[in-house]
């Protein structure tokens, strides 16, 4: 393993190392070459159509999360990646995901190679650093996509390598390359502006400020792009338009970045352990105290749903991040004990340390929301700092850190692959679960929108016109337009649950895995048995059917019609069953599969009720032959008609699959037959078919991972 830690001195050794890194990078990413489009990949592909009609690029309205957006003027990314995709699709119009991945793998290879070249300039372990970057979980995930973050990291590394070479060696060609690639970085993401500080610091420290001013040429292309809508269309762009998170959301964002810095990349924690010495005990103690205080202050009101294990892991990762920055502060403070000018080594430290210190707080404070990918461009510099501080490096600890990081990266990347693939599989297999003669709408963005549109389904907006019998598909993870909140008469028709043999999750509410955004959780990834994804399919019905007791569901023949009454509850007129203690309400149903029984419950007393209100007990029993089993019980408080409301209840009947059973609804403590007494009301009975699909082995969907034409 000593080969990983050698410092190459000859050109041949450098080329050998870079060739090894290129092969390892390509070989490690190839197993994921069939990964479907994921998260924002679709945005930069769909913008190709706008670029083809450039005059309408900004002014054509579009829909996002179901809402109409009149202009693209505030899109938060420059167009370079979309132009790149335009060229690809012009040359290869029928390109599939594997082919597109292979093209983008060139960015991954270039990133690792230039991280190696940058590390060769600033530390003793360039090959080890290149492998650390490659086998950190975020790299493994982000470089399997077509978003801006990977390209931004790549272009910045190339630019800095050439800029430093131009100053150190006086190479004008390198300076021109630095200008070009910084222009490409600016054309990829506005985030690149922050790194201008790095060029300034390095140029000034080395007495060549003119080189910094030359970097101003990089801003010409992006300036022209920003000025075009202002001059030609009279539109003022605001690409850094913020997201209103509120106090809780802001604290969540700060905590997200602090924890993700150490937890997601893993390497910083392992290298910190290699750095620490007995003399650093005070620094570690203060960082632990600061980390604990910051963690508790920022985390107020956030951790209620987290397990103790998750809270401890997040706390340790926050402390590790504080420890990293405390060590840097201590090192920087030590420089002031030196008299005279800084040495070359101290100048290099000042350049890298300052760049990290500038970028991280700006990223934490000014990004609209927390997302792991925003940290990617600075991480090569973080790794370099740690390796500079760890010289000489504890090889066993460093090797163990690399192995553990690689061992974690593979299953996490596979979990993200599974999540991206489930929508593609579902979109092509949906008619296994629902009739083919129905018009299908869907909500959701990202891959949901791309693949559902690709097979001809309709994207639902707030102004869409739906008709009775239409079906609306709603994913549980990747949607912000919630069907239940829409003023559409509907009932839940089918529920489809996708399970996975892998326990890892990268985007999941249940496990708080929020690699792609703070909205899902503070953890980048976590293990759990939660569903990979769940799709609820709603049927559009008429308002009349919505007010019926059983919504016209033919699977539930209502028998006791003498107990049905029309009542106005919660300002809604509905047909309800009025229950009492003596007369249960029952119906027969043949459960040919797994079903959920949905219903609404209410307990009503007259306005002039004088006795002390007593809660009523509602029970759901299932009669299977001679056996009767209670499957649900709920106690409800009584309310007068002006304040009563329906309580939704869902009962899982999965334990009676394949049986003909009787469902019996009972009440206790109420008597609707007594004049003006408490009344137990049951309304909107609905039987929902539930499917459970094993994502890894189900024969109905196994064949659906073939490449799909993108545009």
- pLDDT band for 606, please (50, 70, 90 cuts): confident
- pLDDT band for 166, please (50, 70, 90 cuts): very high
Answer yes or no: is pLDDT of 112 > 90: yes
Q: Among 190-204, 213-227, 326-340, which stretch is predicted with the lowest mean pLDDT?
A: 326-340
- H or E element: which one contains 357? helix 344-366
- d(Cα 386, Cα 124) in Å, to the nearest integer? 11
Partners of 618 in the beta sheet?
A: 634, 667
pLDDT at res. 673: 44
Q: How far is CA 174 from CA 171, 197, 478, in A?
A: 5, 19, 44
Q: Which pTM does this prediction carry?
A: 0.85
What are 161's two structure tokens? Answer: 């390598």
Q: What is the rounded average pLDDT of the residues 7-14? A: 87
**Termini Cα distance of the chain:** 46
Higher pLDDT, 134 or 568: 134
The pLDDT tens digits for 71-85 are: 776 666 788 888 888
The full 3-state SS of 24-93, as one line of letters, equals HHHHHHHHHCCCCCCCCHHHHHHHHHHHHCHHHCCCCCEEECCEEECCCCCCCCCCHHHHHHHHHHHHCC
- H or E element: which one contains 508? strand 507-508
Answer yes or no: is pLDDT of 240 > 60: no
Residues 6+ apart with CB under 8 A from 325: 287, 357, 360
pLDDT at res. 603: 80
Q: What is the rounded average pLDDT of the residues 525-529? A: 87
Closest C-alpha among 482, 475, 484, 577 to residue 536: 475
Sign of CA dihedral 361, 367, 372, 373: negative
- pLDDT band for 175, please (50, 70, 90 cuts): very high
Q: What is the rounded average pLDDT of the residues 189-207? A: 90
Answer yes or no: is pLDDT of 703 > 50: no
Q: Among 48-52, 188-192, 273-277, which stretch is predicted with the lowest mean pLDDT?
A: 273-277
pLDDT at res. 709: 30
Answer yes or no: is pLDDT of 176 > 90: yes
Mean pLDDT score across all residues of the chain: 81
The pLDDT tens digits for 655-682 are: 888 888 888 888 776 654 445 567 777 7
């Amino acid at each position: 393993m000593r080969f990983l830690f050698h410092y190459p001195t000859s050109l041949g050794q450098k080329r050998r190392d870079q060739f090894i890194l290129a092969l390892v990078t390509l070989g490690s990413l190839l197993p994921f070459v069939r990964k479907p489009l994921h998260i924002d990949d679709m945005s930069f592909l769909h913008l190709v159509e706008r670029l083809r009609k450039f005059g309408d690029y900004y002014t054509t309205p579009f829909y996002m999360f179901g809402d109409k957006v009149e202009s693209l003027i505030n899109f938060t990314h420059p167009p370079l990646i979309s132009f790149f995709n335009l060229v690809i699709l012009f040359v290869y119009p029928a390109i599939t995901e594997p082919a597109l991945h292979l093209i983008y793998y060139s960015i991954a290879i270039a990133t690792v190679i230039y991280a190696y070249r940058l590390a060769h300039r600033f530390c003793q372990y360039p090959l080890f650093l290149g492998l650390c970057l490659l086998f950190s979980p975020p790299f493994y995930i982000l470089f399997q996509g077509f978003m801006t973050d990977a390209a931004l990291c790549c272009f910045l590394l190339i630019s800095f390598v050439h800029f430093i070479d131009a100053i150190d060696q006086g190479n004008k060609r390198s300076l021109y390359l630095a200008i070009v690639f910084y222009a490409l970085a600016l054309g990829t993401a506005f985030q690149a502006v922050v790194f201008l500080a790095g060029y300034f610091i390095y140029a000034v420290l080395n007495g060549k400020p003119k080189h910094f001013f030359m970097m101003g040429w990089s801003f010409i292309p992006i300036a022209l792009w920003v000025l075009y809508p202002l001059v030609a269309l009279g539109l003022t762009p605001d690409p850094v338009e913020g997201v209103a998170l509120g106090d809780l959301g802001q604290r969540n964002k700060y905590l997200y970045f602090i924890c993700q810095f150490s937890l997601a990349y893993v390497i910083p924690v392992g290298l910190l352990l290699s750095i620490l010495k007995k003399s650093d005990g005070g620094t570690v103690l203060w960082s632990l105290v600061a980390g604990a205080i910051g963690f508790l202050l920022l985390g107020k009101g956030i951790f209620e749903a987290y397990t103790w294990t998750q809270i401890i892991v997040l706390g340790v990762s926050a402390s590790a991040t504080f420890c990293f920055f405390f060590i840097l502060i201590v090192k920087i403070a030590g420089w002031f004990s030196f008299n005279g000018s800084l040495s070359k080594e101290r100048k290099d430290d000042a350049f890298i340390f300052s760049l990290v210190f500038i970028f991280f707080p700006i990223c934490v404070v000014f990004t609209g929301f927390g997302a792991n990918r925003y940290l990617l461009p600075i991480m090569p510099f973080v790794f370099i700092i740690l390796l500079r501080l760890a010289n000489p490096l504890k090889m066993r600890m460093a090797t163990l850190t690399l192995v553990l990081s690689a061992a974690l990266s593979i299953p996490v990347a596979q979990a993200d692959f599974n999540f991206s693939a489930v929508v593609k599989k579902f979109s092509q297999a949906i008619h296994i679960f629902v009739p083919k003669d129905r018009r299908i709408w869907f909500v959701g963005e990202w891959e949901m929108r791309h693949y559902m549109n690709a097979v001809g389904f309709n994207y639902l907006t707030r102004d869409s016109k739906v008709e009775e019998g239409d079906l609306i598909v709603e994913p549980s993870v990747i949607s912000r337009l919630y069907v239940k909140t829409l003023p559409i008469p509907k009932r839940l028709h089918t529920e489809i649950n996708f399970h996975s043999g892998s326990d890892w999750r990268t985007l999941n509410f249940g496990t708080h895995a929020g690699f792609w955004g703070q909205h899902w959780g503070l953890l980048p990834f976590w293990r759990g048995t939660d569903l990979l994804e769940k799709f609820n399919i709603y049927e559009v019905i008429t308002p009349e059917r919505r007010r019926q007791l059983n919504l016209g569901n033919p699977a539930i023949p209502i028998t006791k019609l003498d107990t049905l009454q029309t009542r106005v509850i919660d300002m809604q007129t509905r047909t309800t069953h009025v229950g009492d203690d003596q007369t249960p309400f029952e119906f027969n149903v043949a459960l040919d599969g797994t079903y959920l029984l949905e219903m609404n419950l209410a307990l009503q007393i007259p306005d002039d009720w004088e006795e002390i209100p007593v809660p009523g007990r509602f029970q759901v029993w299932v009669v299977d032959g001679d056996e009767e089993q209670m499957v649900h019980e709920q106690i409800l408080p009584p309310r007068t008609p002006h304040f009563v409301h329906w309580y939704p209840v869902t009962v899982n009947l999965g334990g009676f699959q394949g049986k003909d059973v009787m469902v019996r609804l009972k009440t206790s403590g109420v008597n609707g037959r007594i004049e003006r007494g408490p009344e137990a009301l049951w309304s909107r009975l609905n039987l929902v078919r539930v499917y459970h699909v094993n994502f890894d082995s189900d024969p109905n969907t196994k064949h659906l991972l073939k490449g799909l034409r993108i545009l």
